[in-house]
Structure 1
Amino acid sequence: MIERVAERVAEHLNRALHEVLAADPAVYVLGEDIADPYGGAFKITKGLSSRFGERVRSTPLSEGAIVGAGAGLALAGDKAIVEIMFADFATLAFDQLMNFAAKSTTMYGRPVPLPLVVRCPSGGHRGYGPTHSQSPQKHFLGIPGLPVFELTPFHDARALLEHCFATLTPCLLFEDKVLYTRRMFHEGVVDDLFRYELIGAGPGVARVRLEGVDDYDCTLIVPGGMAHRAVEAMRDLLLDHDILCELLVPARLYPLDLTGASPRGRHVCVAEDGPAGGTWGAEVAARLYPALWDRLTRPITLVSAADSVIPAAPHLEREVLVHAHTIRLAVLEALA
């Protein structure tokens, strides 16, 4: 039990992949440099090729070919998990995702299952520069037949992967690179102040709150990669400014489903990585306005990265990306 509590997200995801492959001999894993001894750029696939042999394949450097091969395996009756080394390069597989994989479930005169998961390590805060630090989730939202998920520190990764396969459609799974280094939350406990529960259908939504409290000044809504930053902002707002927030973290970004997780705050703030413009946050706000219009005290606040290419220099990167203090200042300004 102690070992499970201390588990980092990267270790948790690696264990989940081991369990999924062990449980189902039809699952294959494809990606650049994923085989041992390298085990992938972020070591998420460490040990898989040594244990499962040819079911785990290092591939040539071609995102379109990797996703196409994974989709072909899925169409042929197997299941595939594809790793894109950096989410930035999922754009090179956009045609395979949008025009082939997402359409293949409906193009042949009968429903055709296509159990494919495309894993995309995303986000900055690592000094990797303009083309290895982006959060391109918004570019894949709204494509029929292509659900979009994001790894969180609340949701069990094996259950999430199995849920993706159960949709029988290709799925994108974004994984924040800094989140890999953080600890999983376990048994409903976030820290000494906050507790969480999973609510709603499917993978559900994590609700983080003070135990026994139902009335909040603000509801924060963020994708999984921002969960720790949002919790830090919640803590600062409570202890330094006596502002009480709850936090909602869905595992599925599209199609969005907050059923059973209606915000309880008098204000709503949606924060995400990536610049503004056609974003997940804007979609969340558009969905919430009709339901919350009669009780919102002010417009929904949207927090995004700056409209800028992401620099490699750490001090410049910090000025572009979203941090806990960015969320805190946005809530303070909205509630002033």
Structure 2
Amino acid sequence: MRVAENINAALHTVLAGDDRAYLIGEDLLDPYGGAFKVARGLSTRFPDRVLSTPISESAMTGIAAGLALAGDTAIVEYMFADFLTLGFDPLVNFAAKSVTMYGNRLPMRLIVRCPSGGGRGYGPTHSQSLTKHLIGVPSLNVFEMSPFRDAAEVFAEMLALAQPCVFVEDKILYTRRMHTVIDPFTVEVRAGVAFVGTGERPELILIAPGGMAERAMTALRMLLVEQEIAGLLVVPSRLYPVDLDLPPVAHVVVAEDSTAGGTWGAEVAHHVHARHFADLAAPVTLVHAADTVIPTAPHLERQVLVSAETIYDALVRTVHG
């Protein structure tokens, strides 16, 4: 099963199991099924609860927040994560605040799904990773799609929190197959976190969200083959709040798709420094996209975005100082 199909199956599970669950977004109805076809088949099966909206992320997020406040379950599909900037006000100033603002704690079962990242030549305003702008908002949880964990489990976890959640979905990852690792790695999932390694005691830990997993594995394999250094890839499903239980290790690298400055990776680095400082031989290394807009031309886009080679270079610098 490919990742997009896995998310589609998870949405079927949510809507089938909760007759007060709604899926809201632009162009969701069959036969189109959404910009990346993740919603295909859902409007046919649940015609009264899969709703196509006008082109307004602010409006659809506000409607979904109202449904959640009334006790329903609402899932919003954005066409592109870039449009979080349009839905930011109802998400941050209404939905997240509504959990605790009315005297009693209220359940807010709201998930905003955001196709994120570059690599498809969509240009500066349709290729960004804006996750960092969501870090630190009270009662707002941030998750990212992982190829190592069934999306139905992640959706169940998000809805059980009864707080607004943003679910970041890497656009390139949609086409990849679930649970795929490259030789010689194996994967183990514990408490919602995937640990990908060789079984050897790692000299280095690489922490990355699900959308970076393929590039991160490639970089770790290069490190093993060319430098004979064993590394461990850690891929959490829940990005924020940060809660990682890591083995003792001398070197830690965090890779993410966003540009630098106030990022999820910086929050992870703070977490690692606070909990594991005695084990570290050097500060945590952060890997980001270049500090510029994302070009449409493929050869220029590749120079801006984080690649396996970018990560590998950071791993080598970290280990060898």
**Class of the TM-score when normalised by the shorter of the 2 chains:** over 0.9
1:331 match: 315
1:206 match: 194
Matches within 5 A, 1:77-226: 77-185=71-179, 190-200=181-191, 204-211=192-199, 213=200, 215-226=201-212
Q: In the TM superposition, what whole-angstrom CA distance separates every residue of 1:169-217 from its partner, at most 9, and x where no partner exists? A: 111000000011111106xxx23311111123xxx21111113x2x212
Distance 1:208 1:264, change over 3 A: farther
Kindly provide the amino acid, as one letter, of the partner of residue 194 in structure 2: A
1:3 match: none
User: Post-superposition shift, 1:296?
Assistant: 1.1
Kindly provide the amino acid, as one letter, of the partner of residue 196 in structure 2: V
Verify the 8 A CA contact 2:248 2:276 in the aligned structure 1. no
User: Post-superposition shift, 1:235?
Assistant: 1.0
**Which of 266, 269, 283 is the equivalent residue of 1:299?**
283
Kindly provide the amino acid, as one letter, of the partner of residue 32 in structure 2: Y
User: Post-superposition shift, 1:148?
Assistant: 0.6
Extract unaligned runs of 5+ from structure 1.
1-6
Matches of 1:251 and 1:286, distance apart in 2: 19
User: Post-superposition shift, 1:130?
Assistant: 0.2
User: Post-superposition shift, 1:241?
Assistant: 1.8
Matches of 1:93 and 1:154, distance apart in 2: 29
Matches within 5 A, 1:274-313: 274-313=258-297
Matches of 2:87 and 2:227, distance apart in 1: 46
Instruction: Verify: 1:10 aligned to 2:4, yes or no.
Output: yes
Matches within 5 A, 1:15-30: 15-30=9-24
Matches of 1:236 and 1:117, distance apart in 2: 37
User: Post-superposition shift, 1:18?
Assistant: 1.1
SS in 2 for 1:207: strand
Extract unaligned runs of 5+ from structure 2.
none
Matches of 1:107 and 1:241, distance apart in 2: 54
Matches of 1:285 and 1:113, distance apart in 2: 31
State the number of aligned residues.
320
Matches of 2:300 and 2:212, distance apart in 1: 20
**TM-score normalised per structure 1:** 0.93
**Which of 25, 36, 40 is the equivalent residue of 1:31?**
25
Matches of 1:263 and 1:122, distance apart in 2: 30
Instruction: Verify: 1:320 aligned to 2:304, yes or no.
Output: yes
Verify the 8 A CA contact 2:249 2:279 in the aligned structure 1. no
**TM-score normalised per structure 2:** 0.97
